Amino acid sequence: MKTKIAGTALVLFDVINTNYKKSIIVLLLIFGSKMMAQTNENKALADNLKWSERTALTILNKYPKAWQIDGTEKPKWDYKMSLVLTAFEKLYQKTNDKKYFNYIKEYADEMIDSSGNIKKYDLKEYNIDYVNPGKLLFNLYDETKDNRYLKVIQQLRTQLETQPRTASGGFWHKQIYPNQMWIDGLYMAEPFYTQYTVKYENGKALDDVAKQFELVQNHLVDKKTGLVYQAWDESKQIGWANPETGTSPTIWGRGIGWYMMALVETLDYYPKTNPHYKVLVGYLNQISKNVLKYKSESGLWYQVTDKPELKDNFLESSSSAMIIYSLAKGADKGYLASNYKKIAQKSFDTFVKEFVKKGENGEVVISNVSSNVGLGGKPFRDGTNEYYIKSKTKDNSSPALAAFLLSATQLNK
């Protein structure tokens, strides 16, 4: 009899226990849903934010860790992250809001181990894109005195010291692209290279920095338009190269943006007393004057910049924002005449109307961002006008978010 009662009690206990667990689960689900709703409510952005802050908060909300930018699945030392974080650095310098600084620092600390080595970095790849994130470490080191940052800065300087070069002295873009200079490589390397040599080497490499830009002027600038091609093969051997000039076939809007940003950010550190300083300012004035000839009536730029009439060619957001930022900064710094600032402001306003919408939580959504395009490789990318025009566009890819943040910060918008 006692056994039966005990068994019944156990059954009742199990039923009560199961029902209790179910109740707890239901309560947790309800509570969790309310918390999620509150979190989403908290993430709704205020109506009175400047575009710069709205863009930065959009990025912070979507990518809590900077290595996640563009949906990256694993931590990666990459120029996309550093492009965005460079914009965060400029916003931090303007606002002194520590959350922007912390976002940069968390990325660096995720990517640099306790011994001061970049995780999964292989010097032998000689990928010039890997130099770009090094720009973030100068300020981090100055503020924290963490020697890991200085060690990485030195590692990247070593890469440039041994980076393969074309016969005339230009940095190869990567080990796998022999004899080739790519226009974005100027942005990836020269601002870092200039800052390093001025800060730590008494400017000994300034002539070499100027040489990289001189090679662009001599070989990548189109004689007819004054705009730049994406790449140049000094050997003229690769399939995409013009047999006479060695240039790739297309003048790509974002390529122009990379080059203009390379100039304005290199000039941040290039001493005015150096004879090459005026030469670099001259290059910036030349490309700025020429790029204005190819803007749309509304003040924006096309994917294939010099051929707006091509079928399916489109106004492209990242290139437009990069150019706007470069014109505004160039004018503010005195490299360009003051009227370029007014042009930048007008184009910025058009950019917002053309490309920018607010999502349901007030976040920034930027349309018509060209997907990443390249040359060579497998399958072979021929770099024709058609190849660039057919590249799929996306919303909120990093080049557009970063360049819009840069231009908004520069214009105090």
Give residue-wise pLDDT tens across range 68-86: 999 999 999 999 999 999 9
- Helices H, strands E: what count in the chain? 14, 6
Give the predicted TM-score (pTM) of the model: 0.89
In the predicted model, is pLDDT for residue 324 greater than 90?
yes
In the predicted model, is pLDDT for residue 13 greater than 50?
no
In the predicted model, is pLDDT for residue 3 greater than 60?
no
Q: Which residue has the higher pLDDT, 26 or 332?
A: 332
pLDDT band at 14 (very low <50, low <70, confident <90, very high): low
Q: Coil, strand, or helix at residue 412? A: coil
In the predicted model, is pLDDT for residue 4 greater than 90?
no
CB atoms within 10 A of CB 211: 17
In this structure, of 19-33, 133-147, 156-170, 265-279, the range with the lowest mean pLDDT score is 19-33
Burial 244-273 (b: 16+ CB within 10 A, else e): eebbbbbbbbbbbbbbbbbbbbbbebbeee
pLDDT band at 34 (very low <50, low <70, confident <90, very high): very low
Is 184 a catalytic site residue? Answer: yes
What is residue 35's predicted lDDT score, i.e. its pLDDT? 43
**CA 280/CA 261 separation, integer angstroms:** 12
In the predicted model, is pLDDT for residue 344 greater than 50?
yes
Question: Of residues 184, 207, 306, 332, which has the active-site annotation?
Answer: 184
What is each CA distance from 176 to 41, 78, 99, 186, in whole angstroms? 48, 17, 38, 18
pLDDT band at 382 (very low <50, low <70, confident <90, very high): very high
**CA 217/CA 78 separation, integer angstroms:** 27
In the predicted model, is pLDDT for residue 166 greater than 90?
yes
Q: Which residues contact 340 (CB under 8 A, 6 or more apart)?
A: 288, 327, 328, 330, 331
What is residue 17's predicted lDDT score, i.e. its pLDDT? 52
What ranges make up the beta strands (E) of 85-217? 180-182
Bridge partner list, 365: 357
CB 91 within 8 A of CB 404: no
pLDDT band at 310 (very low <50, low <70, confident <90, very high): very high
User: First vs last Cα of the chain: how many Å apart?
Assistant: 83
User: CA dihedral in degrees (90, 343, 224, 261; nearest 10)?
Assistant: 0
In the predicted model, is pLDDT for residue 16 greater than 50?
no
What is residue 47's predicted lDDT score, i.e. its pLDDT? 86
% the chain with pLDDT above 70: 90
**pLDDT tens digits for range 82-123:** 999 999 999 999 999 999 999 999 999 999 999 999 999 999
What is residue 26's predicted lDDT score, i.e. its pLDDT? 42
What is residue 19's predicted lDDT score, i.e. its pLDDT? 54
Average pLDDT over the chain, rounded to an integer: 92
**pLDDT tens digits for range 212-238:** 999 999 999 999 999 999 999 999 999
What is residue 367's predicted lDDT score, i.e. its pLDDT? 98
175: buried, middle or exposed (CB in 10 Å: 19+, 13-18, 0-12)? middle
What is residue 372's predicted lDDT score, i.e. its pLDDT? 87
In the predicted model, is pLDDT for residue 45 greater than 70?
yes
**pLDDT tens digits for range 231-264:** 999 999 999 999 999 999 999 999 999 999 999 9
